[in-house]
Structure 1
Amino acid sequence: MATTHLLYLHGFRSSPESAKARLMAAHVAAHHPGVHWWCPQLPPSPREAAQLLLDGTADWPRATTAVIGSSLGGFYASWFAQQRRCPSVLLNPAVFPARDLQRHIGEQTGWHDPEASFFFRAEFIDELQALDTRALPAAAPALAIIAKGDEVLDWREMVARYPEAQIELLEGGNHALDDFAFHMERIGRFLELV
């Protein structure tokens, strides 16, 4: 089923200004102008982020919605795909954010705007655990693009987390997927962007 509505979810400390989000937005605008694109700024609270996504997509057509998520956004994308039973593309997705973000409790600055700071609260760890879908079978097709050279997350954990996904395992690479432009056509084909 062709995708008419596409949600893009950025990672921890990131924003809609991330290189991948901007590249994908430009690609969709240039090659798939019929696709409705939304890349919201996610709040630090996972519970609030989840509610924002449900509210913001409440009137989207279920059959033609898809989601792309990077890093922590990949974790959220897996949760969203379960809720909406929609295809997902996961870019170096966070697998155990409740474990990995423990050490980031406290004041954080935005990656793209150091003036923008937020407080990552201890209770957000519990909120992340509440969104964990690892125990559930995949709700819809998924494509995971995973770099062995990711300096933030363990590629082996990512591969093990998504046994049912199509996996594009990159030799080398990095967490930011600096070669992301190379993968956009594959993503477009996978999601059947209109």
Structure 2
Amino acid sequence: MPNTHLLYLHGFRSSPRSAKAQQVAAHVARHHPLVHLWCPQLPPSPRAAMQMVAQGIAAWPHSRMAVIGSSLGGYYASWVAQHARCASVMLNPAVDPARDLARYIGEQTSWHDPEERFFFRPEFIDELRELDVRDQPPAGPELLVAAQGDEVLDWREMVARYSAARQHVLPGSDHALSGFERWLGEVIAFCDLV
């Protein structure tokens, strides 16, 4: 049976206002009006973020949901998929954010509104480690979209981490997946929405 619920998780310093989140929301509204889409603003604490998401999807029919995550949201999406046993799509996902985000401890600005500031605390690194599900086999179908031109994360790590996933490796592009609308149809089709 097609999925009735879709969760979108944005990346570090990002928001539901990201271009990809907006494109997903517009596509779902236009082509899948019966689908319940939720794209929450995630707090900086990984533990708090996943507690909020877990509470938000607690009443969802997990057998009829999918999750899409971008960058750090891709890391979170893998955690959600393990717990909900659902399909997941990772867009240029962070593979080891505990390693990569250690240099960002301190005050940060929001990508979409530099006036918005938040503090990335040292304990968040351990919270990221607690969410690591790399040692577990996929709990549901996985799709990886990885750009070879990603200037932030290494696409080779993504390909190795998601070796069991259906993979779409893009020559060029960038971390933001500029031109995402070209692959949006494939991403949504994978999510098998009603």
Q: Give the TM-score normalised by structure 2.
A: 0.99
Q: Measure, in 1, the Cα distance between the counterparts of 2:181 and 2:42.
A: 23
Runs of 4+ in 1 over 2 A off after TM superposition: none
Q: Measure, in 2, the Cα distance between the counterparts of 1:120 and 1:46.
A: 10
Q: Report what 2:74 is aligned to.
A: 74
Counterpart of 1:158 in 2: which secondary structure?
Answer: helix
Counterpart of 1:184 in 2: which secondary structure?
Answer: helix
Residue 164 of structure 1 aligns with an amino acid whose one-letter code is A
Q: Report what 2:187 is aligned to.
A: 187
Q: Report what 1:118 is aligned to.
A: 118
Q: Report what 2:43 is aligned to.
A: 43
Q: Measure, in 2, the Cα distance between the counterparts of 1:110 and 1:188.
A: 27
Counterpart of 2:12 in 1: which secondary structure?
Answer: coil
Q: Measure, in 2, the Cα distance between the counterparts of 1:145 and 1:63.
A: 23
Q: Measure, in 2, the Cα distance between the counterparts of 1:66 and 1:13.
A: 23
Q: In the comparison of the two structures, how many residue pairs are matched? A: 194
Alignment of 1:99-118 (within 5 A): 99-118=99-118
Counterpart of 2:25 in 1: which secondary structure?
Answer: helix
Q: Report what 1:3 is aligned to.
A: 3
Segment drifting more, 181-190 vs 120-129: 181-190
Counterpart of 1:108 in 2: which secondary structure?
Answer: strand
Q: Measure, in 1, the Cα distance between the counterparts of 2:163 and 2:19.
A: 28
Alignment of 1:6-155 (within 5 A): 6-155=6-155
**What residue ranges of structure 2 are gaps of 5+ in the alignment?**
none
Aligned residues: CA RMSD: 0.6
Residue 7 of structure 1 aligns with an amino acid whose one-letter code is L
Q: Measure, in 2, the Cα distance between the counterparts of 1:189 and 1:127.
A: 33
**What residue ranges of structure 1 are gaps of 5+ in the alignment?**
none
CA shift, 1:5, in A, is 0.2
CA shift, 1:193, in A, is 1.1
Q: Report what 1:167 is aligned to.
A: 167
Task: Output one character per residue of 1:69-94: Cα deviation in whole Å (capped at 9) or x when no partner.
Answer: 00000000000000000000100000
Q: Measure, in 2, the Cα distance between the counterparts of 1:180 and 1:47.
A: 29
CA shift, 1:131, in A, is 0.1
Task: Output one character per residue of 1:42-67: Cα deviation in whole Å (capped at 9) or x when no partner.
Answer: 00000000100000011100110110
Q: Measure, in 1, the Cα distance between the counterparts of 2:111 and 2:183.
A: 23
Q: Measure, in 1, the Cα distance between the counterparts of 2:117 and 2:88.
A: 29
